[in-house]
Amino acid sequence: MMGRGLLAIEDLEREDIELILDTAFHMKEVGQREVKKVPTLRGRTIINLFFESSTRTRTSFEIAGKRLSADVVNFSPSSSSLTKKESILDTAKTLDAMDPDAVVVRHSVAGVPKQIADELAAPVINAGDGAHEHPTQALLDLMTVVEEKGRIDGLTVTIIGDIAHSRVARSNIYAFTKMGAEVRVAGPPTMMPAQVETLGVKSFRSLREALDGADVVMALRIQLERLAGALFPSVREYSATFGLDRAKLRYAKDDAIVMHPGPVNRGVELSHDLANRRPGVILDQVRNGVALRMAVLYLLAGRKRGAEGEVD
């Protein structure tokens, strides 16, 4: 992983994930100091290339870069090659000529970070590409579970929602499976991707069965704007069948935790109660997000393609 950037959890070995998590926990300690800044990436330039807008993720990366003393530049071109004069690859080549130390890319179409990485010498970090992957989200989710449960091996993780359109789901499926957990997915049949078992998960139509014995329950965001009426008949029906509240949570283990990548559609995927209080750990996820992204930037920024070296 380490040479090219962070494009997909699918590409990572277990040791890579463990290194990132280990580094992230150390970075978390930095975030608890008075001076939340270290000089490690001083003089390095990190470009946030966000074709798809996202204040949360972009801000998280920006804070992470700044805490490492890097210079962070935000660049938000219009998202489609069809509507702008400069194609995505031309943008990438232009950026490459400016010699950044890392480029963080988010796009609404799968594959763009990889296409950009092929043009850049600098490492590319995928901040979310279409329905494909969102690696840093899955890694911070792993981090949060390690904090809560002490381990990943042997846990049962249930992911609920629009799996077909979710990059968070895919990345988490890979991440938790590689770290030894059993992953289940549940959601309306119209939101289950084709042959989802080939990803190494069991799929359920019944929320109750999917939750039975789960240690971690992850609710995904439903994109109401895009999907209501087309893929499921109404928000009310979704909430009744797959929305999570304390009552339904009883099917899971007593000490199960509840996660969500945010932002939460309260009353749809999660009740207000679970969004605000334990066993919901959403704010912990956000907190860990900065530390995790610091770790990723620390490990990657400034490493050119083909860089080799000895382990210190």
Partner 1 sequence: MASDQPAKNRPEPSAPPAPPSAGVVLDDVAIQRALMRIAHEIVERNEELARLYLVGIPNGGVPLARQIAQNLREIAGVDVTVGVLDTTLYRDDRLTRGIRPRLRRTEMPSAVDDRLVILVDDVASTGRTIRAAMDALMDFGRPRAVQVVALVDRGHRELPIKIDYVGKNIPTQRTDHVELRERAGGEGMEVVLMQGRGAPS
Partner 2 sequence: MAGRVWLRGGRVLDAASGRDGRADVLIEDGRIAAIEDALEAVGDAEMVNAEGLWVAPGFVDLHAHLREPGQEYKEDIASGGRAAAAGGFTAVCCMANTNPVNDDPSVTDYILDRARKDSPVRVLPVAAATKGLAGEVMTEMAALVAAGAVAFSDDGKTIMDSGMQRRVLEYSRLVEKPVMVHAEDRTLVRDGVVNEGAVSTKLGLPGNPAVAEIVHVARDLLLAELTGAHLHVAHVSTAGAVAHVREARARGIHVTAEVSPHHLTLTDEATLGYDPNTKMAPPLRGKDDVAACVEGLADGTLDAIATDHAPHAVHEKEVEFTAAPPGVLGFETAFAVVLELVRRGALTPLQLIAALAWRPARVLGLPMGRLERGAVADVVLLDPARPWVYDPAQGFSKSRNSPWAGRELEGRVLATWVGGRLVYQQGRGVLAP
CA distance 81 to 89: 9
228 binds, among partner 1, partner 2, none (CB under 5 to 8 A by kind): none
- DSSP, res 129: E
What DSSP letter does each residue of 293-312 carry, written as one string?
HHHHHHHHTTPPTT------
Pick from 15, 197, 254, 312 the residue near partner 1 by CB under 8 A.
312
CB of 136 to partner 1, least distance (A): 17
CB of 46 to partner 2, least distance (A): 23
293 binds, among partner 2, partner 1, none (CB under 5 to 8 A by kind): none
Residue 38 within binding range of partner 2, rule CB under 8 A: no
Residue 228 identity: A
Active site residues: 56-57, 85, 106, 134
What DSSP letter does each residue of 238-279 carry, written as one string?
HHHHH-B-HHHHTTS-TT-EEE--S---BTTTB-HHHHHSTT
Q: Please give the distance of CA 196 from its chain centroid, rounded to a whole number.
A: 19
- DSSP, res 150: S
Residue 27 within binding range of partner 1, rule CB under 8 A: yes
Those residues whose C-beta lies under 8 Å from the C-beta of residue 114, and which sit 6 or more positions away, are 7, 8, 124, 126, 129
Within 91-110, which residues bind partner 2 (CB under 8 A)? Answer: 107, 109-110
Nearer to partner 1, 17 or 214 (CB): 17
Pick from 198, 247, 255, 308 the residue near partner 2 by CB under 8 A.
198
107 binds, among partner 2, partner 1, none (CB under 5 to 8 A by kind): partner 2
CA distance 115 to 47: 16
Scanning 77-85, 191-199, 245-253, 301-309 for contacts with partner 1 by CB under 8 A, the matching segment is 301-309
Residue 193 within binding range of partner 2, rule CB under 8 A: yes
Those residues whose C-beta lies under 8 Å from the C-beta of residue 306, and which sit 6 or more positions away, are 3
Please check whether residue 254 is in contact with residue 195, taking contact to mean a CB–CB distance below 8 angstroms. Answer: no
Question: For binding to partner 2 (CB under 8 A), which residues are involved?
Answer: 10, 80-82, 87-89, 107, 109-112, 114-115, 129-133, 164, 167, 170, 193-196, 198-199
Question: Which residues sit at the interface with partner 1, rule CB under 8 A?
Answer: 2, 19, 22-23, 26-27, 29-30, 33-35, 37-40, 68, 298-299, 302-304, 307-312
